[in-house]
């Protein structure tokens, strides 16, 4: 998507049972203190999917061998100008994650991811997760179905405080 400003990626990583989502708590602007998916910048000349795997490794320690990412959708912001490529993947086995850039944690899926007071992206996280729910048979290999909608009152995650 070159020619449309700076590129970024956003990566939805599910655990093997597809009942938890890897998230981070932002330590710096934008979205300081809010919860987000992992991701980062696409470097000049770098293919989008290569950038997604690189950022995933740098931010979490998850390697290309641990997960298969599927390019789900893009957001293009013509006035910013920038674009965001969204990828989805599910780990084949439990894996420890580590990172210094942001605080990482596994979130349950019964939250209102459209809540802009808690989640980064002006509601985009909710939209992304609704798309994952709609296409979960193509995207996720676990038999656990994602809950319909993300409007349930949030349960308190011990790691989400």
| pLDDT grade for 158, boundaries at 50, 70 and 90 | very low
Q: What is the pLDDT of residues 95-106, one digit of tens each?
A: 999 998 999 999
Instruction: Count CB-CB contacts under 10 A for residue 53.
Output: 21
Whole-number Å distance between alpha carbons of 16 and 141: 8
List phi, psi (to 5°) of 82. -160, 170
Whole-number Å distance between alpha carbons of 121 and 75: 11
Q: Any alpha helices (H) in the chain, and if so which ranges?
A: 48-60, 124-134, 136-139
Instruction: Count CB-CB contacts under 10 A for residue 139.
Output: 20
C-alpha 40 chain-centroid distance: 10
List phi, psi (to 5°) of 71. -75, 110
Task: Quote the percentage of the chain above a pLDDT of 70.
Answer: 88
- Cβ neighbours of residue 58 closer than 8 Å, sequence gap 6 or more: 40, 99, 101
Average pLDDT over residues 81-102: 95
Which has more confidence, 4 or 12?
12
- Can you give the pTM of this predicted structure? 0.88
List phi, psi (to 5°) of 50. -60, -40
- Looking at residue 149, its pLDDT comes to 63
Q: What is the pLDDT of residues 23-45, one digit of tens each?
A: 999 999 999 999 999 999 999 99
What domains lie within the chain, and their CATH numbers?
Answer: 6-139 (3.90.79.10)
| pLDDT grade for 88, boundaries at 50, 70 and 90 | very high
- Looking at residue 141, its pLDDT comes to 86
């Amino acid at each position: 998507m070159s020619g449309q400003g700076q590129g970024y990626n956003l990566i939805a990583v599910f655990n093997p049972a597809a009942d938890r989502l890897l998230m981070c708590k932002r330590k710096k602007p934008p979205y300081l203190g809010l919860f987000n998916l992992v991701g980062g910048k696409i470097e000049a000349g770098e293919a989008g999917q290569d950038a997604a795997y690189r950022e995933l490794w740098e931010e979490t320690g998850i390697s290309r061998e641990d997960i298969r990412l599927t390019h789900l959708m893009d957001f293009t912001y013509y006035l910013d100008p920038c674009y965001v490529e969204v990828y989805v993947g599910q780990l084949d086995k439990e894996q420890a994650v580590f990172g210094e850039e942001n605080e990482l944690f596994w979130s349950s899926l019964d939250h209102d991811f459209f809540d802009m007071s808690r989640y980064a992206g002006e509601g985009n996280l909710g939209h992304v997760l609704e798309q994952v729910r709609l296409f979960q048979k193509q995207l996720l290999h676990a038999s656990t179905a994602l809950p319909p909608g993300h409007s349930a009152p949030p349960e308190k995650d011990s790691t989400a405080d």
